[in-house]
A and B are shown apart, each in its own frame.
Chain A
Amino acid sequence: TQLLEQSPQFLSIQEGENLTVYCNSSSVFSSLQWYRQEPGEGPVLLVTVVTGGEVKKLKRLTFQFGDARKDSSLHITAAQPGDTGLYLCAGTDSNYQLIWGAGTKLIIKP
C-alpha cells in the first residue's frame, strides 16, 4: 500500500513566522500536488510539481519536489492569518491513481 505521510499533523504559530510542511513516501510519484482546504469548503489546488528537484513559488509559498520524486515540502515565509487551513499533498502513482496525505492543520495566530 502506497502511503504519503505528512508532517507535522498540526502546527500553530504566530503571524510573521516561517514554517515548513513535509510530505514523504517510499514510493515514486510522477507528479505531486498541494492543496489548501478551508473549513466548509473543498480542497483548492495550489501547485503541481512534476520534475525531480523542481521548485515552484507562489508568493510567500515555496514548493519543492524531491530529486527522487518521493517527497515534497511546502515552505511559507512570514505566515499570515489568511494562510490558516488544512494543507494536503497528493501524489500520482504509477497506476495514475492519486494518493492523498492525511493533511497538516495550520493555524496562524494574529
Chain B
Amino acid sequence: DAGVIQSPRHEVTEMGQEVTLRCKPISGHDYLFWYRQTMMRGLELLIYFNNNVPIDDSGMPEDRFSAKMPNASFSTLKIQPSEPRDSAVYFCASSLDSDYGYTFGSGTRLTVV
C-alpha cells in the first residue's frame, strides 16, 4: 500500500480564494481524520469520519471550512474563502481504530497571502 496520499503538497493562494485539499486513505481503514498543525497550536483535530460518515466536526474553526468523504477512498477539506490565519500544514490520517494508531499523509502546506 502506498500509504495515505495527500495532494497538493504545497498550496499558495490569495486571501479570499477557495482552497481544496485532497486525501486518499489506506484501503480498509474505516477512520479518516483531518488535522491542522501550526507552531503555536500543535496538532489540532478538525474533523473525523467513520465509514465515510462525519462523526465529530467540533474542531472545524468556522463555517468557511467544510469536509466531505463521498466514498471510502477519497476525502476533501475545503476552505472558502481562505484567510491568512488559515496558513498551516494540513494532515490527513487514517486508521483501523484509534488503538491501532494512525497513519498520516505527508501533509499539505497551505500559505494564504
Contacts and interface: CB of A to CB of B under 8 A. Distances in A.
A42 B105 contact: yes
Interface in A76-110: 88, 92, 96-98, 100-103
Contact of B104 (A42, A97, A103): A42
* Contact-residue size bin, chain B (C-beta under 8 Å from the other chain): 10 to 19
Contacts of B98: 31, 92, 96-98
Given A42-B91, A42-B107, A98 B42 contact: no
Contacts of A100: 42-43
Contacts of A28: none
A41 B106 contact: yes
A102 B106 CA distance: 19
Contacts of B105: 42
A33 interface: yes
A98 B59 CA distance: 13
Given A31-B99, A48-B99, A48-B100, A42 B93 contact: yes
A45 interface: yes
A50 interface: yes
Nearest to B101: A45
Nearest to B99: A31
Interface in B12-36: none
A43 B43 CA distance: 10
A102 B42 contact: yes
B7 to A, nearest CB: 14
Contacts of B42: 100-103
Interface of B: 4, 42-43, 45, 56, 91, 93, 97-107
Given A33-B101, A40-B106, 14 more contacts: A31-B98, A33-B102, A41-B106, A42-B4, A42-B93, A44-B104, A45-B101, A45-B103, A88-B43, A97-B45, A97-B56, A97-B98, A100-B43, A102-B42
